[in-house]
Amino acid sequence: MGNNFNENERPKIGLVLSGGGAKGFAHVGVLKVIDELGIPIDYIAGTSMGSIIGGFYAIGYSATDIEKIILNQNWEELLSDHVSRKFVPIYEKTDFERYILSFPIKPKGIELPSGIVGGQNVINLFESLTIDYHNETDFSKLPIPFLCIATDLETGEAVVLDEGYLPEAMRASMAIPTLFEPVEIDGKLLADGGMINNFPVKEVLKMGADIVIGVDVQSGAKSKKELKSLLDIVNQTVSLMALANFKENVKYCDIYIKPDINNYSVGSFEEADSLIQKGEEIAKQFIPALKELKEKYELVAPIKKTYLPPSDTSSFYLKNLEVVGLHQVSHSLLEGKLNLDMDSKISLSELKNGINRIYGSRYFNHVDFQLKGEEEKTLLLRVKERTTKRFNVGLHYDSDNNAAVLLNTTFRNKLRSGSRLSFDLKLSENPRFKTTYTIDNGIKPGLNLEAEFNDSEVSAFDDNGKKVATYDFNYIKADFNIHSIIRESYSFGIGGKMEYYNINSDEVLSEGIIDREEDYFFSYYAFLNIDSHDKAYYPKKGMCLYGEYKLVTNNGASLDGMERPASVAYMKFNKAISVNPNFTIYPQFYGRVVWGKNIPGFYQSYTGGMDKSDYFDIQIPFVGLNRFQFSSTNAFVFRSDFQYELFKNNYLILKANAGKLVEDVDSSLSEGKWIKGIGLTYSYNSLIGPIEFSLTHSDEKEGISNYVNLGFWF
């Protein structure tokens, strides 16, 4: 028994919930039994996962509601800083999934992050689920008084969080060192409270509890054979640090409940339903003790106001916007990404989408929100700007281009807010350098400047697909365009570019093969770009469309031998059609048309190869052909991929395509040549990018070819 109490009054019941990562889901099973028995809970103290479950229970969620919340989460996305690709600006989408490592650059050099996960999605979930309690800063005034425990990383002392912003307190209490970034509150850098006090029984007694029910989901110390993962080692370290404090706290529990969950780990988030069941099973064994407690003190569960989770359609009247943390990024850029009207009603869905657009802009490491006020709300945004200088690394190998390393440095807010300066250096047998400067103004005209150098190797083939010559292809481009962006996925604009190429072969393998050609051209173009795919690789919904019309000159006004420029029209289209969660049909179309006289060979349409890069807009991919195998004036390719996810991140893809090639600019489409090809790909979508092995065949190449691709394309 904890405190002495007047026997004429009913004793106050305190509930203590320990930390334990995913094993903390067992707390919910125990709470379900407590709810069913009608045991009143007067105070709650929790650490780490116990602070999350306890915090939700304290504001009025029933155990059943908390169970639904847990089972409805995509834990892989929630426990990452992933943001849906639809919220990433279209000019960033190509970079969004091509690096395996990314580091901020500080004055002293490249800096490692303070945690693997920043916690963006976690804090946004907490904020959405506690939205009606954003104004309550005194946790003792919640429907059930509540506190949670964090650790001050500077002093190594336990910190009791019983006031402030509830979602932030819960987030700080669960910040497992090295896995989650710590949280700064009132000048203190806070991390997981489990390092010092993972079972805060004494704290709930100080709140006023007379009787303590403690639920412990911690693991005992593991043997060296059981320490198999980073999570195991981190959890062992945290547990050992708090062991002495834990043993002391257990003595003060009146009812001590410890679920049998040794076969689970702190990372068993996908086994939430099983863990909840385990908690319920152990709690049922304590029903006699709980009933005895209830009958002895004539405990009657108070009629408490049940707090229902807000839905995406829940609306709020938004009066003002306040932003904390802006330094280099302009207020107007943030407001444009938020895209919410003040003095109007907004839905929770609109608010969450606005937060995601801000975070997806990649100008911020962290964006969280608080709705202050009663009827008329003030939206407070707390942001942490992303380091404006980053160093990124990509790795790739494929059968056509061999191995390559991509080194990238990206600077933001150079010359003006909302700008992005990027340098790419591709190290391989075919090196490449590219620099890009982009200004994003949303729907208002923005600017894009590019300069690029490519040193590539291309081959020529005979009618049977046999290589007859190899060329060194040097390509230099300077590009300028003005564009507008709509809803992050749509862009259109106009521009101009200068292109220089030098094709040189030291070894002529067949008669008629040119051994050297070089020239430069000035082009003007208009484009439309749409990309709404949910994923860059193996999408299950969304579409991509790129269309471009280009005028080609060699003096800015006309082409040699013509009074006007030559014209090039290019379009690629693909759409993901999800038949069921595992099966997706992915129809595609590629078309390129050239017209005019004296068309340079450089602007012909080159068909063939699995290459997904956009180094050269003269290439049209074709399954079953060598890269650049066919040269023609006009080319049209119809393709469909039939993608089946065998199990998580493992795909079997049947690829079938047919194309029409028109050799001469004056020839009609009916005079063209039909080609056909097919391929079968097995792929694993790994952390370093796709790992693919393909077998392909076409009617224009003898035998079956194989193709290997490893890593993100760049």
Active site residue ranges: 48, 192
Q: Which residues lie below 8 Å from residue 292, measured CB to CB, with a gap of 6+?
A: none
Per-residue tokens: 397: 């190998």
Kind of pairing between the strands at 211-215 and 255-257: parallel
Beta strands in 273-374 (DSSP E): 315-324, 344-347, 364-372
Q: Which residues lie below 8 Å from residue 558, measured CB to CB, with a gap of 6+?
A: 564, 565
Left if phi > 0, otherwise alpha if psi is -120 to 50, otherwise beta: which for 49? alpha
Cα separation, 238 vs 116, whole angstroms: 17
Cα separation, 231 vs 237, whole angstroms: 10
Cα separation, 191 vs 234, whole angstroms: 13
* Residues paired with residue 692 on neighbouring β-strands, in sequence order: 683, 709
Cα separation, 186 vs 650, whole angstroms: 46
Cα separation, 187 vs 614, whole angstroms: 48
Read off the amino acid at residue 490: Y
Contact 496, 523 (CB under 8 A): yes
Q: Is 129 exposed, middle or buried (0-12, 13-18, 19+ CB in 10 A)?
A: buried
Alpha helices in 141-286 (DSSP H): 166-173, 201-207, 230-241, 243-250, 272-285
Q: Is 326 exposed, middle or buried (0-12, 13-18, 19+ CB in 10 A)?
A: middle
Kind of pairing between the strands at 543-553 and 516-531: antiparallel
Cα separation, 172 vs 119, whole angstroms: 10
Q: Give the number of other CB atoms < 10 A from CB of residue 525.
A: 19
Any idea how long the chain is?
714
Contact 574, 586 (CB under 8 A): yes
Cα separation, 497 vs 448, whole angstroms: 11
Q: Which residues lie below 8 Å from residue 149, measured CB to CB, with a gap of 6+?
A: 45, 46, 47, 51, 158, 159, 160, 161, 173, 193, 194, 196, 197, 198, 200, 203
Q: Decide: helix, strand or coil at residue 193.
A: helix
Q: Is 367 exposed, middle or buried (0-12, 13-18, 19+ CB in 10 A)?
A: buried
CA angle, residues 596, 601, 607, in degrees to nearest 5: 100
Cα separation, 197 vs 484, whole angstroms: 53
Kind of pairing between the strands at 13-17 and 211-215: parallel
Per-residue tokens: 647: 């199990």
Q: Decide: helix, strand or coil at residue 208.
A: coil
Whether the CA torsion 106, 109, 114, 119 is positive or negative: it is positive
Cα separation, 681 vs 694, whole angstroms: 4
Q: Decide: helix, strand or coil at residue 382.
A: strand
